[in-house]
Structure 1
Amino acid sequence: MQTNRLGQTDLHVSEIGLGCMNLGTDEQNAQAIIKEATQNGINYLDTADLYGFGENEKIVGKAIKGNRDNLIIATKGGNHFEPGQDNWYWDPSKAHLKEAVKNSLLRLGLDDVDLYQLHGGTIEDPIDEVVETFEELQQEGLIRHVGLSSIRPNVIKAFVNRMNISSVMMQYSMIDRRPEENMLDYLDDHQVSVMVRGALGKGMLTDQGIKQWKTKGQNGFLDYSAEELKHLIEQVELTANNHEVSPQALAMSYALEHPAVSSLILGASHPEQVRKNLEAYHNRPTESYIFNNLMPSLKTQIYEQHRA
C-alpha cells in the first residue's frame, strides 16, 4: 500500500487507515479487525478517549501489544467524562487535556502517542492555552505530533497560524465537497495533512448505496434533498458499473486525488469490511483516469443538476 508523509513529520501513513470507533466491545472480533488491517498494509490506527468512554482505547491497546513499532497510533481528547458516567462535556482546558493524555496512554499501554488530536473545538476556546498545552506535552515526550479533528475553517486556521500542526481530520467525499471550497488548497500550502473521514458517504458510496440511502438518506444530506441524494447515488453506481469498478473504489479515488489528503480513515465492525475496503482500494482507477475520463461526465450528470 502506498504511504504518504504526515504533514512535515518523519511519519508516513498508509493511504487507508483504520478508524477504530466501530470496533465494538467484543475483544476477539476487534483484534481480528486490527489484525486484518495491519497484516495488509494499514499502519495507521485512529481512536479517541470518547469512544466507549475509554474502552475503545483499551481494546486497541491490547490488540497492538507487541506490534507497536510498526504502527502509527492516533487518539483524540478534549471531551470531559467521568468513569462510569454516560455524559460528557467539551473541556479544552490545560488541566483536562494533560490528564486526558495520561489516561489515554494508560489505556493504550503506551509511553507516547504518535498523533494527538483535539477532538473538536470552537473559535471561542482558549486556543493559546491549548497550543501551550500541546507544546508542553510534546516537550514532556507524551505526544509526538499534534492534529485537529475539525470541519470549522476558522478553528483550523487559528491553529495553523499559531503552531506546527501535522494534520486535520475532516469529512470529505463526492457528496460532501465542502473542503474543496477553502480548506484543501490552504492546508496543502501549509504542509498540513488531511485525514479524511466519511469518504464512503455513510456507506451510500458503496455497492450497498441505495440500501444505505433507505436507512440514512431519507432526510437528505447537507443541502441535498432525499431525491437528489438518491439520484446522485444512482449515478455514481451507474458510472462505476460502466467502467467496471465498484462505487467505493470510485469514491476512494475521488477523495485521494487532492495532494493534501494523506489517508482515508475507514471504520469496520468486522474483518470482512476491512477486506472489502482493501480490495476496493487496490482495484481503484488511478486518480488521473478518474478526473480525465470519469468525473467530468459524472459531474455533468449530477453536480450541474444540483440546485445552486
Structure 2
Amino acid sequence: MKKRRLGNSDLYVSEIGLGCMSLGTDYAKAENIVHEALDSGINYLDTADLYDYGQNEEIVGQAVKGRRDDVIIGSKVGNKFTPGEEGWTWDPSKKHIKEGVKSSLKRLGVDYIDLYQLHGGTIEDPVDESIQAFDELVDEGLVRAYGISSIRPNVIKQYVEKSNIVSIMMQYNALDRRPEELLNYLAEHDISVLARGPLAKGMLSSQGREKAASKAEDGYLEYSRDEVLAIAEEWPSFTDSDKNAEALALQYVLHHPAVASAVFGARTTGQLADSLTYRTAPALTNETYRKIQSLTKPLTYQKHRS
C-alpha cells in the first residue's frame, strides 16, 4: 500500500485508512476487521474518545496489541462525557485536552498517540489555550503530531495561522466537494487532509442506488433527492471490471495531493474487501476526474467564514 506523508511530520499514512467508528461493539468481529485491514497494508486507524463513549478506543487498542509499530493511531478529544451516562459537552480547554489524552492512552493501552486531533472547534473557542495544550503533549512525548477535525473555514484558518497542526480531517467525497476550495491553501501550508466519508454514506459504493434511495430521502446537502438518485445511477458508468465503485470514490478524493488518506468505515469484512480493491485498480484518469466533476456540484461552505 502506498503511503503519503502527513504534513511536515514523520508520520506516513496509507493512502486509504480505516475509520473505526463503525466497527461496533462486538470485540471479535471488530478485531477481525482491523486485522484484515492491517494485513492488507492499511496502517492508519482513526478512532475517538467519543465513539461508543470510549469503548471504540478499547477495541482498537485490543486489536493492535503486538502490532503497535505497524500502526499509526489517530484519536480525538474535545467532547467531555462521563462513561455510562448519555450526552456530552464541548470542552476544548487545556485542562480537558491534557486529561483526555491520559484517558485515551489508558483505553488504547499504548504509551503515545501518533495523531491527536481536536474533535471539532468553534470560533469562540480559547484557540491559543487549546494549541498550547497540544504543543505541550508533543513536547511531553505523549503525542507525535496533532491536527483538527473540522469543516469550518474560519476555524481551520485560525489553526493554520497559529498552530503546528499537520492535518485536518474533513468530510470529503465526490458529492460533498466543499473542502476543494481549501485544498490548494492547505497544500501551500504543508498541511494534509484526512478525508472522512469518501463513500458518501455508501451512496458512492457498489450498493449506491439502494443507499441513495434510503439515505437521501430528503436530499443530500444542496442536492435534491432526484439529483442524488441520478448521480448514483450514473456512478457505475465510470467503473469497469478492474475498478469498482468504492475504488473510484477513494481515487477521486485522493486525486489532489493535499489529501493524505481517504478514511472509510467498514461494518463487515465484505465492506472492507470492497474498498481494498483500491490497491489494484487502474489509476484515475484526468478525463474521468473531470467527468465526475461535471456530474457533481462544486459546493462551498456558506457558514463559518471569516
- TM-score band by shorter chain is over 0.9
Could you say what secondary structure the match of 2:267 adopts?
coil
Q: 1:68 to 1:209 in 2, by over 3 A?
A: same
Query: AA paired with 1:223?
Result: E
Name the structure 2 match of 1:221: 220
Distance 2:24 2:291 in 1: 40
Give the superposition deviation at 1:298.
4.1
Could you say what secondary structure the match of 1:146 adopts?
strand
Name the structure 2 match of 1:160: 160
Superposed, 1:38-187 pairs within 5 Å as 38-181=38-181, 183-187=182-186
Name the structure 2 match of 1:2: 2
Q: CA contact under 8 A between 2:172 and 2:253: conserved in structure 1?
A: yes
Q: CA contact under 8 A between 2:174 and 2:292: conserved in structure 1?
A: no
Cα RMSD for the two superposed structures: 1.5
Query: AA paired with 1:156?
Result: I
1:3-31, CA deviations, whole angstroms, 9 ceiling, x for partnerless residues? Answer: 00011011110001111101111110011
Could you say what secondary structure the match of 1:107 adopts?
helix
Q: 1:23 to 1:300 in 2, by over 3 A?
A: closer
Name the structure 1 match of 2:272: 274
Q: 1:295 to 1:214 in 2, by over 3 A?
A: same
Superposed, 1:7-26 pairs within 5 Å as 7-26=7-26
Distance 1:97 1:298 in 2: 40
Distance 1:298 1:115 in 2: 32
Could you say what secondary structure the match of 2:239 adopts?
helix
Query: AA paired with 1:149?
Result: S
Q: CA contact under 8 A between 1:253 and 1:284: conserved in structure 2?
A: no
Give the superposition deviation at 1:300.
4.1
Distance 2:79 2:272 in 1: 28
Distance 1:145 1:155 in 2: 19
Matched, 1:284 2:281: yes
Q: 1:298 to 1:131 in 2, by over 3 A?
A: closer
Distance 1:154 1:134 in 2: 20
Q: How many residues are matched?
A: 298
Give the superposition deviation at 1:96.
1.0
Distance 1:204 1:97 in 2: 35
**Structure 2 segments unaligned to the other structure (5+ residues):** 299-306
TM-score normalized by the length of structure 1: 0.93
1:238-286, CA deviations, whole angstroms, 9 ceiling, x for partnerless residues? Answer: 2325x8632222211111100100101111112222111101x024331
Q: CA contact under 8 A between 2:6 and 2:166: conserved in structure 1?
A: yes
Give the superposition deviation at 1:303.
4.8
Give the superposition deviation at 1:214.
1.5
Could you say what secondary structure the match of 1:117 adopts?
strand
Name the structure 2 match of 1:258: 256
